[in-house]
């Protein structure tokens, strides 16, 4: 079994799309209306994973205790990239005793994004 996508309810779909395209490198896989006031967009990372963003349901992301993790080749370059785009950093970068490097930030909806660089 493979995870196909993660769903996040957001208040501002267009703002979310711009962030994930510009900062995270995702592309819109499909976008459609799912009711009179509900819109859905699936954004793809280019390697098979997708995030589904839904707006207009009256729900918004309750991000406490939830994060989406991304493996990156260079945590320092990721940190610089996020800072250059004004993304709030909440932890790191930090190197664990195992050599794993971690960094945590927040998307425009308050959703925590975790970044990990594994030792070679």
Domain that holds residue 17: 1-59
Q: How is 51-111 classified by DSSP, letter by letter?
A: EEEEESSS-----TT-EEEEE-S-HHHHHHHHHHTTPPEEEEEEE-TTS-EEEEEE-TTS-
Same domain, 88 and 53: no
Query: Is pLDDT of 2 > 90?
Result: no
Q: What is the pTM of this model?
A: 0.90
Mean pLDDT of the chain: 92
* Band of pLDDT at residue 36, cut at 50, 70 and 90: confident
In this structure, are 115 and 77 located in the same domain? Answer: yes
Percent of the chain clearing pLDDT 70 (strictly above)? 96
Q: What share of the chain in percent tops pLDDT 90?
A: 72
Query: CA-CA distances (angstroms) from residue 73 to 25, 46, 61, 64?
Result: 14, 16, 28, 27
Distance CA 115, CA 16 (A): 19
Q: Which residues contact 55 (CB under 8 A, 6 or more apart)?
A: 9, 10, 11, 12, 13, 16, 38, 39
User: Residue 117 corresponds to which tokens in the numbers above?
Assistant: 């660089």
Q: For residue range 56-110, what is the model confidence (pLDDT) as tens digits?
A: 877 666 667 788 999 999 999 999 999 999 999 999 999 999 999 999 999 999 8
Q: 31, 59, 87: which is the final residue of a domain? A: 59
80 and 33 share a domain? no
Which H helix or E strand runs over 18? Answer: helix 13-22
> What's the domain count of the chain?
2
Are 70 and 85 found together in one domain? yes
């Amino acid at each position: 079994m493979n995870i196909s996508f993660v769903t996040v309810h957001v208040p501002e779909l267009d703002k979310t799309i711009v962030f994930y395209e510009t900062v995270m490198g995702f592309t819109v896989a499909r976008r459609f209306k799912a009711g009179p006031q509900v819109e859905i967009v699936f954004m793809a990372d280019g390697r098979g994973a997708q995030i589904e963003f839904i707006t207009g349901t009256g729900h918004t992301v309750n991000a406490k205790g939830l994060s989406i993790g991304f493996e990156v080749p260079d945590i320092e370059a990721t940190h610089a990239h996020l800072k250059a785009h004004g993304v709030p950093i909440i932890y790191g970068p930090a190197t664990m005793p195992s050599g794993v490097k971690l960094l945590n930030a927040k998307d425009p909806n308050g959703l925590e994004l975790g970044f990990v660089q594994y030792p070679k």
